[in-house]
Structure formats: C-alpha cells, structure tokens
Amino acid sequence: MPPLPGFWGISGHELSRLAALANIAFGCDDVDMGKVATLMGQRGWLPGMVRTPPSLHLMLSLHHAQAREAYVTDVAACVEAARGGENVTATSASYA
C-alpha cells in the first residue's frame, strides 16, 4: 500500500513517484500546486516543492506519525480551496 492512505481520498490526487525510503512527491493535474503550497504555508506547514511535475515533496519518518493525519487533512482542504479558485498567489519551486 502506498504511504499516507488518506491522500487517495482527495479527488484527482496522484502520486508522482513511489521513492525508496520515505520521500514522496504528490500533486493534482487540475490544481495549481503552487497555490496549495501557499495555503499550506499559511497553515504553518513548510511545503517542499518540485517543478516537474508540479508537486509538493514530503519526507516522512516515524517521528512524523503524530502530525500525519493533520497534514493530510490540511492538504485536502488546501487542494479544495485552490480548486475552488481561492485568490492566493502561487509559490514556485526554488532550488539553491
């Protein structure tokens, strides 16, 4: 089973790659993931972004277990807000 089963309940959600260990990238084809990142940041999360495909990047360990469901809940809410046309400026991926 892929990590974070709660993600699969988000309409249109797709896992970009199932990587070894605990790194995942995820996004929705019909949603500006930059807007989702902005909204997640407004909720106190530090969203990691990937340019291609446009997605959020997440590294998980057992230490993240307590926040897992809150994270998935917030991702779902932010995806729906972005899909609904919430007026927010999209964050873009920046690599140093």
26-83 has which fold? Aspartate Aminotransferase, domain 1 (3.90.1150)
Q: What confidence tens digit (pLDDT) does each residue in 64-91 have?
A: 778 888 999 999 999 999 999 889 999 8
Q: How confident is the model at residue 94 (pLDDT cuts 50, 70, 90)?
A: confident
pLDDT value at position 21? 56
pTM exceeding the 0.85 threshold for the entire prediction: no
Q: What confidence tens digit (pLDDT) does each residue in 18-66 have?
A: 555 567 889 998 999 999 999 999 999 999 999 988 999 888 777 777 8
What is the chain's Cα-based Rg?
A: 12
The structure tokens listed for 42 are 């407004």
User: Pairing state of beta strands 55-59 and 48-50?
Assistant: antiparallel
